[in-house]
């Protein structure tokens, strides 16, 4: 009887290396190593095992000492690993030395995140940003891609080996493509600026959903606005900012944007890949910071998000803090979180628990700086009523013979247009 062959490709088995430095203590190093496992799993890798390293002194050739390097390689091979993944940036020479020593593929955290971004990018903008980061990451590593072919041949002065010629050609190709991408990105940014200015002219309030990766931001956008944004239980399921209209109970509306999740130690070359979505956050009227109740490290995740928001100038924007996934969280974590954040709102996107309270709080905060007035709008000027609903909040509305009387809260920018219809 013939043996059945599984047609599915075998998952790559990754052996993870955590690094504890003098400025990265044991608890944080362990947390980062767990997150590295989440990144690897998100990319489709199978975790073969992990190996924490306490590093007292860095070496230029392998980052760690040769004895520790031999120990790591032996442990990886004992677990039948296909690759070794470091939770620390490796130099091009260190990466090459590790591959020579182990005979396995070797990545660092930066390359892992770039690979994830490459597999998730859907729009032209995200694809360009990720390609740019990938090329800029690979450029200094070209020298180590050709092995012995990079040696020069003997012969006349000025002759070059085939490896060196290939290296120069590839370097020129990459540099040319980097230049092309940067030019294309200018057009994309112009297009985004036009879209943003159109939204600003309409003067609809804007809110941005922010938070650490995989906290349920896309799911929250979907359930509030009935959108169909991809929402999966994995890191960086979506990269592109998505904006949908949310109609509040008063009839007022706002534009709600889902942003890419934050993560610690993001590779420098990928910071620009966040730029577009972070611009949406920094220009919002209100931020909705989503935290994950099922994550025992929820406080450090929130601190990372707040740090990034401050760096982009959004740290002082009005903010609602919500704790999602309370349906699967330990009661103690939720209680502790509520003591630390008494103004925070526990919710569950999955069961819709607390969502009515969230939309009511959104409306309250958006109208906090508005003035309550009563206006009598002539029927011939009824177009002002939808404007009030769009930019303010209608508390009460009734129709009379010659006008529509509206009790409402409106921003200062509408007062000039409504002043002549105002009733005492």
State residue 240's pLDDT score: 57
User: Is 261 among the domain residues?
Assistant: yes
Vertex 177 angle, CA 174 and 181, to 5°: 140
User: Is 154 among the domain residues?
Assistant: no
Q: Mean pLDDT over residues 224-231, rounded? A: 68
* Rounded distance between C-alpha atoms, residue 22 and residue 167, angstroms: 38
Vertex 279 angle, CA 292 and 341, to 5°: 30
Domain containing 134 equals: 121-147+161-202
State residue 86's pLDDT score: 95
Q: Which of 26-40, 222-236, 335-349, 392-406 has the lowest mean pLDDT?
A: 222-236
Q: Mean pLDDT over residues 306-320, rounded? A: 84
Vertex 199 angle, CA 197 and 200, to 5°: 60
Q: Is the pLDDT of residue 99 over 90?
A: yes
Q: Which of 146-150, 190-194, 223-227, 252-256 has the lowest mean pLDDT?
A: 146-150
Q: Is the pLDDT of residue 409 over 70?
A: yes
- Rounded (10°) CA dihedral 86, 87, 90, 96: 10
User: Is 4 among the domain residues?
Assistant: no
Q: Is the pLDDT of residue 336 over 80?
A: yes
Q: Best-predicted range by mean pLDDT among 5-9, 189-193, 298-302?
A: 298-302
Q: Is the pLDDT of residue 327 over 90?
A: yes
Total domains present in the chain: 4
**Per-residue pLDDT tens digits for 44-73:** 899 999 999 998 888 999 999 999 999 999
Q: Which of 76-85, 192-201, 289-298 has the lowest mean pLDDT?
A: 192-201
Helix (H) or strand (E) holding 209: strand 206-211
Nearest to 43 by CA among 99, 111, 91: 111
**Per-residue pLDDT tens digits for 148-201:** 333 343 444 344 555 567 788 888 898 899 899 889 888 887 887 777 666 555
- Ramachandran quadrant class, 280 (left: phi over 0; alpha: psi -120 to 50; beta: rest): alpha
State residue 349's pLDDT score: 93
Cβ neighbours of residue 191 under 8 Å, at least 6 residues apart? none
Same domain, 262 and 233: yes
State residue 143's pLDDT score: 61
DSSP string, 268-323: GGGGGGGHHHHHHHHT-SEEEEEEETT-TTHHHHHHHHHHHHHHTT-TTS-EEEEE
Q: Best-predicted range by mean pLDDT among 29-38, 71-80, 135-144, 183-192?
A: 71-80
Same domain, 291 and 392: no
pTM (2 decimals)?
Answer: 0.70
Same domain, 100 and 22: yes
* Rounded distance between C-alpha atoms, residue 76 and residue 26, angstroms: 22
Q: What is the 3-state secondary structure (H, E, C) of 69-105?
A: HHHHHHHHHHCCCCEEEECCCCCHHHHHHHHHHHCCE
Q: Is the pLDDT of residue 307 over 50?
A: yes
State residue 31's pLDDT score: 86
Same domain, 19 and 103: yes
Nearest to 303 by CA among 332, 340, 267, 259: 340
* Rounded distance between C-alpha atoms, residue 215 and residue 402, angstroms: 52
State the CATH number of the domain containing residue 288. Answer: 3.40.50.300
Confidence of residue 80 (pLDDT cuts 50, 70, 90): very high
Q: Mean pLDDT over residues 296-313, rounded? A: 84
3-state SS assignment for residue 254: strand
**Per-residue pLDDT tens digits for 203-218:** 678 898 988 888 888 8
State the CATH number of the domain containing residue 102. Answer: 3.40.50.11060
**Residue 386 CB coordination number (10 Å):** 12
Same domain, 93 and 30: yes
**Alpha helices (runs of H) in 139-270, residue ranges in sequence order:** 162-202, 217-225
State residue 64's pLDDT score: 92
* Rounded distance between C-alpha atoms, residue 204 and residue 285, angstroms: 10
Q: Mean pLDDT over residues 354-377, rounded? A: 88
Buried b (16+ CB within 10 A) or exposed e, 243-266: bbebebebebbbbbbbbbbbbbbb
State residue 414's pLDDT score: 85
Same domain, 404 and 270: no
């Amino acid at each position: 009887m013939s043996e059945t062959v599984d047609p599915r490709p075998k998952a790559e088995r990754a052996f993870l290396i955590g690094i504890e430095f003098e400025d990265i203590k044991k608890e944080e190093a362990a947390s980062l190593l767990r997150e590295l496992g989440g990144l690897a799993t998100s990319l489709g890798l199978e975790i073969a095992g992990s190996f924490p390293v306490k590093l007292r002194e860095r070496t230029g050739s392998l980052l760690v000492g040769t004895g520790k390097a031999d120990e790591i390689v032996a442990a990886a091979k004992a677990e039948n690993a296909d690759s070794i993944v470091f939770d620390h940036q490796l130099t091009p020479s260190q990466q090459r030395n590790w591959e020579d020593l182990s005979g396995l593929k070797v990545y660092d955290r930066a390359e892992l995140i770039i690979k994830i971004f490459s597999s998730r990018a859907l729009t032209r903008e995200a694809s360009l940003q990720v390609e740019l980061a990938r090329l800029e990451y690979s450029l200094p590593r070209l020298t180590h891609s050709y092995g012995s072919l990079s040696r020069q041949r003997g012969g006349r002065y000025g002759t070059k080996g085939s490896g060196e010629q290939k290296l120069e050609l590839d370097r020129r190709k990459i540099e040319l493509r980097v230049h092309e991408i940067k030019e294309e990105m200018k057009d994309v940014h112009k297009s985004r600026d036009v879209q943003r200015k159109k939204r600003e002219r309409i003067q609809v309030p804007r809110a941005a959903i922010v938070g650490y990766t995989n906290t349920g931001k896309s799911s929250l956008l979907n359930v509030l606005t009935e959108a169909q944004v991809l929402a999966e239980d994995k890191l960086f399921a979506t990269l592109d900012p998505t904006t949908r209209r949310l109609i509040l109970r008063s009839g007022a509306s706002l534009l709600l944007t889902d942003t890419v999740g934050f993560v610690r130690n993001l590779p420098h070359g990928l910071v620009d890949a966040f730029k577009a979505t972070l611009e949406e956050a920094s220009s919002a009227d209100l931020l909705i910071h989503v935290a994950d109740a099922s994550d025992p490290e929820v406080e450090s995740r929130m601190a990372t998000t707040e740090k990034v928001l401050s760096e982009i100038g959004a740290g002082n924007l009005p903010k609602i803090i919500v704790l999602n996934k309370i349906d699967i969280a330990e009661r103690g974590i939720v209680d502790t979180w509520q003591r630390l954040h008494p103004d925070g709102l526990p919710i569950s996107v999955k069961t819709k628990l607390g969502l009515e309270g969230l939309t009511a709080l959104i409306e309250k905060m958006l109208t906090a700086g508005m003035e309550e007035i009563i206006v009598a709008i002539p029927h011939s000027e009824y177009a002002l009523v939808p404007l009030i609903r769009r930019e303010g909040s209608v508390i009460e509305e009734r129709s009379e013979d010659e006008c529509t009387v509206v009790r409402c809260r409106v921003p200062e920018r509408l007062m000039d247009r409504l002043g002549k219809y105002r009733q005492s």
